[in-house]
Amino acid sequence: MRLKLTIAYDGAPFSGWQSQAGGNTVQDLIEGALLRISGTKITLHGSGRTDAGVHALGQIAHFDAPADSRMPADAWLRALNATLPPAIRILRSVRTRTNFHARFAARGKIYRYEMDTRPVLAPFRAGRAWHFPHALDLDALRDSLQLFVGTHDFRAFAANRSTPVTDPVRTIDSIRLTTTSSGLALTFHGNGFLYKMVRMLTGAGVRVAQGRDSADRIRTLLAAPTSGHWTYVAPADGLYLVRVLY
């Protein structure tokens, strides 16, 4: 039986989603909980990585229950939530088709980036929003973000990894800027995002809105992605994976 999980987590205490040697990742902790529940090593497959400090409201993952397990989907949900730390919650557990894959079946993702622009950051917002109590030209921010909408080669707006991205082309369907009671929210809807791409796009828009960089530089890097690389990255604190689209 293959189970599809919808997962929420506060990313602040963890070293990201992807399993690693240190073990303090969301994937490692859920796989550890699955082992304690079933007595069997179970591999969890996520829709994609989130970095250290990045949060999720609707991460998707799947796993195959042991062949001899008689636990229904809702029992797995209860058992996992009883075993996991409070900063990780399984919101939904459903049986899915045997060929479903959380990563390869995904058609897109929605991310939200939150900025708190108030003079003083409330304690409960620490680690959950980018504290940015500085003047911004919101029209310039909105206009610069719209430059990213469409299909582009985004290699200039992705952090370097040891393994280069073989296909840096992504399509962004929309970027919406809204005001909130505490500041700003930027919502990104696209078919996929490269490593740290949302944080770089946010950083680029903010730099233009501060008058510290130009929209023309964004245009140049999109038109000629090998001509340079964007280096200003918004912090992980404000980034949320809202939803994975199938």
Residue type, 210: Q
Comparing CA positions, the residue from 65, 25, 21 lying closest to residue 43 is 65
- The residue whose two tokens read 């969301």 is 26
Looking at the DSSP bridge assignments, the partners of residue 59 are 7
Tell me if residue 167 is catalytic: no
Comparing CA positions, the residue from 227, 225, 223, 185 lying closest to residue 205 is 185
**Catalytically annotated residue among 51, 64, 143, 153:** 51
DSSP three-state, residue 82: helix
DSSP three-state, residue 33: helix
Residue 1: count of CB within 10 angstroms of its CB: 16
Angle in degrees, 0-180, between the axes of helices 215-223 and 197-209, rounded to the nearest 10: 150
211/188 Cα distance (integer angstroms): 23
Give Cα 86 distance to the centre of its chain: 20
Radius of gyration of the chain (CA): 19
**Looking at the chain, how many residues does it have?**
246
Q: Which two tokens stand for residue 33?
A: 């909980």
Q: Which residues are catalytic?
A: 51
